Structures are given as C-alpha cells and as structure tokens.
Chain A
Amino acid sequence: MSSKMQSSNNIVQAKRTVQQLRVEANIERIKVSKASADLMHYCSEHAKYDPLLMGIPASENPFKDRKPCAIL
C-alpha cells in the first residue's frame, strides 16, 4: 500500500471516528438514580410472573414432573 493510500485511509478513519463521537456525545441521557429506579420497578412489577425467581410447584413445571416419561 503506497504511503499516500495509507495516509488517506487514516484520514477517512479519523473523520469517521470524529463523526461517530459527535453522534454519541449528543445523545440524551438520564441520571443513574432514575435509571436504577426504573430497573427496580420493572423487576418488582414482573417478579410474580418469574418462575425461576418465585419457584413454582412441581405440578406446574413440566421439567419437575415426576411422572415417568413415555419414550415414543
């Protein structure tokens, strides 16, 4: 690769990086306290529907089924 090609590739790369950083620097952000509260709220709202979290009776969980399986 000639040095001219290399330096113009570096320029393209540098321009891309700057454009990308401009996009990222300008996004809207919220405080961690608000974000945390929302994550916690989601967990508590959905906790009762989470079988691995709450544990469900063996009779309702097909994987905990104690009946012998019929291998077809």
Chain B
Amino acid sequence: MACQGLAKGETTNTLKAESESLKAKLEEERAKLHDVELHQVAEKIDALGQFVMKTRRTLKGHGNKVLCMDWCRDKRRIVSSSQDGKVIVWDAYTTNKEHAVTMPCTWVMACAYAPSGCAVACGGLDNKCSVYPLSLDKNENLAAKKKSVAMHTNYLSSCSFTNSDMQILTSSGDGTCALWDVESGQLLQSFHGHSADVLSLDLAPSETGNTFVSGGCDKKANVWDMRSGQNVQSFETHESDINNVKYYPSGDAFATGSDDATCRLYDLRADREVAIYSKDSIIFGASSVDFSLSGRLLFAGYNDYTINVWDVLKGTRVAILFGHENRVSTVRVSPDGTAFCSGSWDNTLRIWA
C-alpha cells in the first residue's frame, strides 16, 4: 500500500480531531433512535414456560479438549476437532464415529462441514485451513487427499464454507479474515480492520446477502461486505474479548458471547446493541452462542461448565443446563432445530433435546 502523505492543511492533529468529532456524531445519531428497550417492547408477549432439556447422546472418543464442532446439513452428522489434533466425523443418532483424521498440528480450533456433506475443513495452530474430502471407503486414508486452502500468519480461529463447497471464509489470530477459493487456494478477498486476534465469524443467513460478522480480542464486532472487503458497521460495547458471534435467523441482528460474562444482541438496522444477557451470578466468560430456529432462544456455553438458555426478547434466563465437567467451548443448534450439540474441555460432546 503506497504511503499517503498529508493533504494541504491536514496534520495528524486535524485528523485526530475529525476522528473524535465523527465518533461523537455516530453516538449522537445512534442515540436519537434509541426510543425504547427491546425487553420493554417484549413485555406484552407471553413468558416462556418451563424447559426440560436433557442430554440425549454423549459422544466420547476425543482424547483431549473439544474445541469446535459443526453440523452437516443432513441434520445427523457432526464434525468435531480437538486440542490433540484429531478431527472426528460422527453420526449423532447412533454415536458411531464415521471418519477420523489426525492433523499435523495441535489445537485444531476450527472445523466446518461443507454444504454438500462431502468434505470437512479444519485448522488451528498450523495457521492454515485444510479441506479433507470424505470418502465412503472407511479404509481410505483421508490425510492423503488433504488440500491446503488458506494461509494466515497466525492461528486459524474459525472457518466456514460459504453457500457452496467452492469458497471458505476464515478468521485468524493475525487480526484478519479472508475469503479463499477452495480449488486453487487463491485469496479472493481479505478483511482488515480488527486491531487484535479475530476469534469468530458467521455468515449472514440470507442467500442474497453477502455479508458476515466477526468478533475478536479488540472487543469489537465488525460487519463486512464480502465483495468489496469493506467494514460496513462496527460495534464496541463489550468489556472484554468477543469469543463467538452468531447471526439471528432473520439476518437483521447478531448475538455475541464474551469473556466479560455477558452475551449481547446487536440490531443491524438500528445500528446498536439492543439487549444484554447477564446475571450477577454469572461471572465466567461465554465461549459460544447459537439461536434456536425462530430466534426466540439463545443457547450460550460458558467457562463455568454450564449452558444458559436465554429468552432473546425478554432478556431473561429460562434454563441452566448442567452436565459437562469442564468448560463448554462450542454450542451449535442442528440444521432442523430439533437438538443442539455442545463440545467441552471435558473431551466429550453432548446432544441436548
């Protein structure tokens, strides 16, 4: 990037002053539209009843902390990755392991299922994202067909296929996100704007929408235009690292889970935070969040080994789920919404319904 000099009359001081006044203007514009709180508008709807959710399956087989998991679109298969470098594909109905790959690195922090169900992507301390085609032949060595797609200059924290098997979006400890072509490994677009490690990303649900949200150690959640690489919106209200970001099913909002022990909801059209999910008794960080199909429930996994279920609209907690014996690192609702899966540092995954 060519070094831009100062225009006539500009100094670092005038730029700083303009920056401050723009920030103030931003706050002012946002405040003008803050006429009510979400939970106040939600007072008129019925409260949710008692929830009974239990562990229906326990997936045992990882030798170390489970760091990430993803559902296949067939609603029954799951891929999970672990600190010991193992990536396992499970049939969640039967708890059978269908495939297992040993990565050449430890701390495989990211894994994702391809939309076709025919491949999985994963990466971590190797700074790469690799794609493994899944073979029907159980004896075939999956590692032989491995394809290296993404290259970052620090650890891979999250990865996701876009609407097809052809492109992958990645986030990294190097502070950037990037879009890659799977076949050629070519970098299609990079996204700069975070000032520290990016820990999570999520693609907008709409077919036509071409945006995604990312969150990181700079406490910011950024919304990006995938085609231009432009950061279109930015939110900075968390008091610590944002560990996970997830879109609300309509695509008009997204939730975050943070080390500040809160989860928050940001509305994109109002351009502000509209809800905080917290309690004085919750003092450990939230590592992972996901919505139920209608968006009414938010499932959040915490470092105190529990999963809290929140009423998204009213802001209240409707259930607390115990079972894991160490930090919950990942929580994902199944594609048809019948169950959700949690992964933990206790080496297991649990299916809840």
Q: Which A residues contact B (CB, under 8 angstroms)?
A: 7-12, 14-15, 17-18, 20-25, 27, 29-40, 42-47, 49-53, 56, 61-65, 69-72
Q: A14-B16, A52-B339 are in contact. Are A39 and B267 (CB under 8 A)?
A: yes
Is B292 in the interface zone, CB < 8 Å from A? yes
Known: A7-B12, A34-B269. 16 other contacts (CB 8 A): A8-B3, A11-B4, A18-B18, A25-B26, A27-B232, A32-B36, A32-B38, A39-B253, A39-B267, A39-B295, A44-B45, A51-B293, A61-B353, A63-B338, A63-B339, A64-B56
B252 touches A63 (CB 8 A): no
For B95, the chain A residues whose CB sits under 8 A away are 69
**CA gap between A10 and B19 in the complex, in Å:** 13
- How far does the Cβ of A70 sit from chain B's closest Cβ, in whole Å? 8
For A22, the chain B residues whose CB sits under 8 A away are 22
A46 touches B249 (CB 8 A): yes
List which B241-299 residues lie within 8 A (CB) of chain A: 248-250, 252-253, 267, 269-272, 274, 292-297
**CA gap between A12 and B233 in the complex, in Å:** 20
B232 touches A30 (CB 8 A): no
- How far does the Cβ of A24 sit from chain B's closest Cβ, in whole Å? 6
B19 touches A24 (CB 8 A): no
**CA gap between A22 and B34 in the complex, in Å:** 21
**CA gap between A10 and B45 in the complex, in Å:** 51
List which B43-72 residues lie within 8 A (CB) of chain A: 45, 48, 53, 56-57
Q: A17-B19, A27-B232, A63-B351 are in contact. Are A50 and B35 (CB under 8 A)?
A: no
Is B6 in the interface zone, CB < 8 Å from A? yes
Residue of B nearest to A14 (CB): B15
Is B336 in the interface zone, CB < 8 Å from A? yes
A53 touches B270 (CB 8 A): no
Q: A29-B270, A47-B296, A63-B351 are in contact. Are A42 and B33 (CB under 8 A)?
A: no
User: Which one of B4, B92, B269, B295 contacts A42 once the chains associate, using CB atoms below 8 Å?
Assistant: B295
Q: A62-B338, A63-B92 are in contact. Are A39 and B22 (CB under 8 A)?
A: no
A69 touches B19 (CB 8 A): no
Among all A-B residue pairs, the 9 with the closest Cβ atoms: A21-B22, A46-B294, A50-B294, A14-B15, A35-B270, A36-B41, A63-B56, A50-B293, A35-B267
For A39, the chain B residues whose CB sits under 8 A away are 38, 248, 250, 252-253, 267, 274, 295, 312-313
- How far does the Cβ of B294 sit from chain A's closest Cβ, in whole Å? 4
A36 touches B29 (CB 8 A): no
